[in-house]
Structure 1
Amino acid sequence: MSHIAIQTTVSIAACVLSLAATCFAWQQIEISRTHNRLTVKPMLQLVPQLKGPGGRNGLYLTNTGLGPAIIKEFTVESGRGVFSGLGPDRWAEALSAARLKADCFATGWPRTETPIKAGDELSLLRLTSAENSAPCFAELVKLVGGEGVTTIIRYESVYDEPQDLRSGSKVPTPAINALYRMVMQK
């Protein structure tokens, strides 16, 4: 083999190895980007609570993910209406459309760009200080045992990746169903 042929072979091998190393590095960068996004991915859940007098009673929005969630859109569907927007509280209208007494609940309607840190929760609806009164507890039973409300939430991660949550307040357990039937018979 001539000296020029050996140099050409070595040059081609070096180019192939360089190209392979570049491809491998690119793949590692993509894996790292995916990992970084997943380590700060939020995961919102709507959590209805019916613990009874003295316990947690209401509708809570919880971030069980690893990063903050930034709420971009918030909608409540209830009964005969759809109530959307960020800012002014619209729970009184939504609860009225669901045939529930709004004065039994302390409300929290998200504002523009509301952040929810990982592990935190936002109280959307909870029984007021009158929670020991039977009529208000009955309203909560109607919320979590009947048709209740459905929330549609669009939120983003810190990487501006949109996610959607559509969840209802109904808790379909035999105990809640029995309690709901008792409340509705009164």
Structure 2
Amino acid sequence: MNSDTVTAISATAIALCSLWVSYTQTRATRQHNRQSVKPLLEMRTVKGYDDHKAGLQIINAGLGPAIVTNSVVQLDGETIGHWNLHAYHLATASMSARPKVYCVGPGAVILAGQTSFLLHVETFRDDEHDGFWELVTQRLVIEIHYESLYGGENFRAALSPF
């Protein structure tokens, strides 16, 4: 083997190693970029803290916006549709004073750091709102499907009854 052959083989090996390093670095950067805009929706029930509001709250604790793709609502174990005004009216039909509502349909965006009540009463009192509290803690299940700006992840957030 002459020196030209050794040089050519060495140059090819170095080029292949360089290509591999470049590929892995690009892949790591792409994964990092996806993680840097990943939303994380959490749902929780809140009962009368400082502002005396109570209800079902959704929080985006992630780093990027959550784009809602779908929602599923169950009342007493039966699916009643998406989280929209129709489902709200079905869920609160037996209540004399209806709670406030925030509907999130397909295409809705929940910004990073945003906190919203999906269903709440402004001034919660145990004696007046026991039916409402039973609804949000035992009877109602809202499942939100969402994705990041990149799309296609099909994340989901739900709060099951106690």
Q: Provide TM-score, normalisation by structure 2.
A: 0.87
Q: Which moved more, 1:147-156 or 1:20-29?
A: 147-156
Q: Name the residue aligned to 2:157.
A: 165
Distance 1:89 1:128 in 2: 22
Shift of 1:155: 0.4
Q: Name the residue aligned to 1:124.
A: 118
> Tell me, which stretches of 5 or more residues in structure 2 are unaligned?
none
Kindly indicate whether residue 104 of structure 2 is the aligned counterpart of residue 110 of structure 1: yes
Shift of 1:166: 2.8
Deviations 1:121-172 (A, max 9, x none): 222100156x458322x12331355x231122110100003212232253xx
Shift of 1:86: 5.8
How does 1:134-149 map onto structure 2 within 5 Å? 134-136=127-129, 138-145=130-137, 147-149=138-140
Deviations 1:32-62 (A, max 9, x none): 0000000000000111101268423111111
Q: Name the residue aligned to 1:82.
A: 79
Deviations 1:60-115 (A, max 9, x none): 1110011000111011111153122365442121344xxx6273411112133110
Specify the code of the residue in structure 1 equivalent to 2:73. Answer: V
> Tell me, which stretches of 5 or more residues in structure 1 are unaligned?
171-186
Q: How many residues align?
A: 161
Specify the code of the residue in structure 2 equivalent to 1:81. Answer: E
Please identify the structure whose Cα radius of gyration is greater: 1
Please state which structure has a larger fraction of its residues in helix.
1
Distance 2:102 2:142 in 1: 13
Q: In the alignment, is the contact (CA less than 8 A) between 2:77 and 2:139 conserved in 1?
A: no
Specify the code of the residue in structure 2 equivalent to 1:29. Answer: T
Distance 1:148 1:116 in 2: 25
Specify the code of the residue in structure 2 equivalent to 1:61. Answer: I
Distance 2:30 2:43 in 1: 29
The percent of aligned pairs where both chains have the same amino acid is: 24
Distance 2:6 2:15 in 1: 14
Q: Which moved more, 1:75-84 or 1:46-55?
A: 46-55
